[in-house]
Structure 1
Amino acid sequence: MASTAPPQSVSPPATADLQALLDAARPFLRGELEVVDPRLPSLVATLRSVGAGECWHKNASFLEHLVDIYRILHLWQAPEAVCLCGLYHSAYSNSSDNLAIFKPNTSRDVVRSFVGNAAERLIHLYCIVPWPTLIHNDLLSHYDDSELVKNLKLSEMSLQNARENGAFKGDETWRKKVQSLLPAKGIKVKHRKTGEDVLVSRRVVAVFLMMAMADFSDQFFGFQDMLFENGDGRLEFTGNNFWALWPGDGKPGLWMNLISRMGAVYMLVAREEELFTLERKKSKSHADSELPSEERDEDIELVLPPVFDSCTRVLDTGDQIEARDKYWEAVCEASKSGGAEHYDAVERKLRESIKKNPFVGEPRVVLGQLCLGKGRYEEAEREAEAGLRLLLGWGSPWDKRMSWEAWVAWARVLLMKARERSWPDTSRGIRNLGLVWRFE
């Protein structure tokens, strides 16, 4: 549907923030892993040589999943050791998947020679700690969504007060709860094979939370909702529909409420860690002031994943379901031919989806294409850019019918055409799109 409006001037070039996101993503989009880390091609080749590319893993091969986790963590600016832990997180098998990259008799020295001491230590802990129980039973189950929302606000005020005024209140309810669940000295968990006690620092627990966020976002889609009968969107793994046929209908999954709750707990732990260190500097008489920093892994930086407004928002389960369903109705109906009223209805559903879940990029990208077709170039540019930013921030797709790379490439095409103030009005013209190289 071509616009009858006169041509408009081209919008300014991409902002520095968007360009920075693209620059960070470009080595992954181009397959230039050596630009990210000179060791990375060799590390991936090792995974390939032991058969990781032959193993099924949810919506891809296990090799693809491992590289994706590295990419996500790297784009989230996680420390190098954490990214490498993501890449080799099943080196010794773990408590979530019955997959081990290497043979059972492979020594820790071999893995250490690949990734270094810091990363191997995290990998080993990840594989021996029953982290699903730790995250779901020992942490998430102790908070409901409303308490998380409340505590995020309270913790923000506490941290601001400490930074600006040097004021600390040890009796704050949100802090006391974090301290009870994850003491400053760490938490003891049972080795998943030997049953022995393993001390895990608070920062390592936070790292495992972030890794779980990346892990789930990469592999979860509608198939898991069928498997675990996740009708309420809480994804608590309580259902047992083992007859679910892979890969299902391709719908986006209802996993985002869970990830937002993980992010909220991660933020509470990160804020408590910052308050703890600030308080210790101010007062040497603090009860835990003599805890060695190395035992607390204070060298591990707790970066904030750029999702859910940097882990400050919890997505309501009802909003999650309605947003997914409106999106699915829109993309299914858009594939049918119709007049102006038909596409207006599709647009309304996309906007309703975005309103209910503003944290994913695909609905905005699809809306951007719809606006281009209607000749509304400024709106198309705004939606395509917003969708692209979200896709680059996640490092993984929400709608897994297409890969992350494909969604990013398509969003860039839409943004380029919106800035050119042009859009094909023939099917052949749509098919021939793809000159992404022109948009820099």
Structure 2
Amino acid sequence: MPPPPPNNTTNADSITTFVAPAPPVADDQLQSILASARPFLRGELESVDENLPRPLAVLRSVGAGECWHKHGSFLDHLLHTYRILKLWGAPDAVCLCGLFHSAYSNAYVNLAIFDPSTGRDVVRAHVGDDAESLIHLFCVVPRHSLIHDDLLFKYRDEAELREHLSQSEISLREAEKGEFDAGEAWRKKLNSILPREGVKVKHIKTGEEIWLSRRVLAVFSLMTPADFSDQLYGFQDAMLREEEIIEKEMGIRVSDDATTEMEVELVVPPMLERCTKVVGTKEQMEARELYWEAIAGKGSGSELKQAEELLVRSVEKNGVVGEPRVVLAQVYLSGGRFEEAEREAAIGLRLILEWGSAWISGCLGKVGLLGPGFC
């Protein structure tokens, strides 16, 4: 994906200046991602995978649709996680892991719809060996400490993260020429966090040691934002340390090592400009507040003009999410600025489909708050 041109600045005396640019959307690019998303929008799941209706029927038969989960049923969340991973181009085993990712309960929820001591053969029969192995692992590792404390939170310095991302891209280009430097700062830090041989973690229920390869950890790192982006709400966000409670209560006991190695294709999801863009916490919060202020207006007269200014600023703060651009397109459309509306709508739609989930949980589809001027 080509880098975006430099951001334009907003004229304080006029609201007709163009919003911060994003990479241009080629029609074939948008049509390709739309083609992937359309079967989900239409409920034509057999078009996604001819075998998908069967595991969904199994999940329904064991009551997944009868369990409450965040903003819908547990079945809804499982299917949404599958959808996100599918839109990201993940291999079938990873997507099916997303579909069954809490089937044996896990470090966050005690919602087992299959007994891991008796039901693994049932799951394996419907998803295959590789997917079932991933599903079981995903349900027994201490996910929060593993993914957040031991990996993601090692990069709290946003400046360092940006620098290391840039250095790694340069290294990749050099490696394609046959040049490789094992002493680079970004590589040394990554190796210190995640050694080549992988890591050992404790089974959340038995205390058994489990060895996880880098590849499996990469898969879990991919699944985590897919899982979280579909579901998190404020009152739930504080309830993310269940595995620590379990470990303290049971007292970890160590048995023979369990080792895990499997060949799973790795993919880089398309959002955040293929995971090369860092948006700071401050910018994310400011963009969210600007967006919310814009959609809380009446959507007519002077408030329509104010909404445009707010949305332009929101996009300048966080240009990697689609909802502000889609609403901005509606503002432009209301003002007869059709070319600008078409461009922002196309970019916004592409970004939403790249994420596969709502930017602000529960806000997707609430553009109607702006009033009739935005419909």
TM bracket, shorter-chain basis: 0.7 to 0.9
Contact 1:73 1:83 in 2 (8 A): yes
Is the counterpart of residue 374 in structure 1 residue 335 in structure 2?
yes
Offset at 1:348?
0.2
Distance 1:105 1:295 in 2: 19
For residues 155-174 of structure 1, the aligned pairs below 5 Å read 155-164=168-177, 166-174=178-186
The answer for the alignment partner of 2:66 in structure 1 is 54
Offset at 1:296?
5.0
For 1:40, give the aligned amino acid.
Answer: L
Distance 2:81 2:140 in 1: 19
For residues 401-412 of structure 1, the aligned pairs below 5 Å read 401=362
Contact 1:187 1:200 in 2 (8 A): yes
For residues 220-299 of structure 1, the aligned pairs below 5 Å read 220-224=232-236, 227=238, 297=262, 299=263
For 1:352, give the aligned amino acid.
Answer: R
Offset at 1:395?
1.1
For 2:174, give the aligned amino acid.
Answer: N
Is the counterpart of residue 394 in structure 1 residue 358 in structure 2?
no
The answer for the alignment partner of 1:95 in structure 2 is 107
The answer for the alignment partner of 1:153 in structure 2 is 166
Over the matched positions of the two proteins, sequence identity in percent amounts to: 56
Q: Is the partner of 2:162 in helix, strand or coil?
A: helix
Using a 3 Å threshold, how does the CA distance of structure 1 residues 361 and 222 change in structure 2: closer, same or farther? farther
Distance 2:362 2:201 in 1: 38
Moved over 3 A (4+): 221-225, 294-297, 399-403
Q: Is the partner of 1:219 in helix, strand or coil?
A: coil
Offset at 1:125?
0.8
Contact 2:229 2:361 in 1 (8 A): no
The answer for the alignment partner of 1:30 in structure 2 is 42
Distance 2:261 2:277 in 1: 27
The answer for the alignment partner of 1:328 in structure 2 is 292
For 1:300, give the aligned amino acid.
Answer: V
Distance 1:379 1:30 in 2: 28
- Further displaced range: 186-195 or 112-121: 186-195
The answer for the alignment partner of 1:67 in structure 2 is 79
- Runs of 5+ consecutive residues of structure 2 not aligned to the other structure: 1-24, 242-258
Offset at 1:221?
4.0
CA offsets 1:120-166 (integer angstroms, 9 cap, x no match): 010111111112110111112222222211110111111111112x1
TM-score, normalization: structure 1?
A: 0.71
- Runs of 5+ consecutive residues of structure 1 not aligned to the other structure: 1-12, 229-235, 238-293, 411-425, 432-440
Offset at 1:22?
1.0
Distance 1:125 1:113 in 2: 17
Which of 18, 30, 34 in structure 1 is aligned with 2:30? 18
Offset at 1:46?
1.1
- Further displaced range: 53-62 or 205-214: 53-62
Q: Is the partner of 2:270 in helix, strand or coil?
A: coil
Contact 1:329 1:349 in 2 (8 A): yes
Using a 3 Å threshold, how does the CA distance of structure 1 residues 375 and 224 change in structure 2: closer, same or farther? farther
Distance 2:312 2:71 in 1: 28
Using a 3 Å threshold, how does the CA distance of structure 1 residues 362 and 199 change in structure 2: closer, same or farther? same
Distance 1:90 1:295 in 2: 19
Using a 3 Å threshold, how does the CA distance of structure 1 residues 224 and 90 change in structure 2: closer, same or farther? closer
For 2:275, give the aligned amino acid.
Answer: C
Offset at 1:173?
1.6
- Further displaced range: 44-53 or 69-78: 44-53
Contact 2:202 2:208 in 1 (8 A): yes
Using a 3 Å threshold, how does the CA distance of structure 1 residues 360 and 157 change in structure 2: closer, same or farther? same
The answer for the alignment partner of 2:149 in structure 1 is 137
Is the counterpart of residue 354 in structure 1 residue 315 in structure 2?
yes
Which of 196, 202, 207 in structure 1 is aligned with 2:219? 207
Contact 2:211 2:260 in 1 (8 A): no
CA offsets 1:13-39 (integer angstroms, 9 cap, x no match): 971111111111111111111111122
Contact 1:334 1:346 in 2 (8 A): no
Distance 1:78 1:113 in 2: 21
TM-score, normalization: structure 2?
A: 0.83
Distance 1:220 1:401 in 2: 9
Q: Is the partner of 1:333 in helix, strand or coil?
A: coil
Contact 2:210 2:260 in 1 (8 A): no
Distance 2:193 2:322 in 1: 34
Distance 1:401 1:69 in 2: 15
Which of 268, 286, 289 in structure 2 is aligned with 1:304? 268
Distance 1:126 1:430 in 2: 43
Using a 3 Å threshold, how does the CA distance of structure 1 residues 80 and 104 change in structure 2: closer, same or farther? closer
The answer for the alignment partner of 1:315 in structure 2 is 279
Number of matched pairs: 332
Distance 1:223 1:325 in 2: 19
Using a 3 Å threshold, how does the CA distance of structure 1 residues 28 and 332 change in structure 2: closer, same or farther? same
Which of 344, 348, 353 in structure 2 is aligned with 1:383? 344
For 1:160, give the aligned amino acid.
Answer: R
For 1:378, give the aligned amino acid.
Answer: E
Distance 2:26 2:181 in 1: 44
Offset at 1:105?
4.2
Q: Is the partner of 1:215 in helix, strand or coil?
A: helix
Contact 1:72 1:214 in 2 (8 A): yes
Offset at 1:401?
3.7
Q: Is the partner of 2:80 in helix, strand or coil?
A: helix
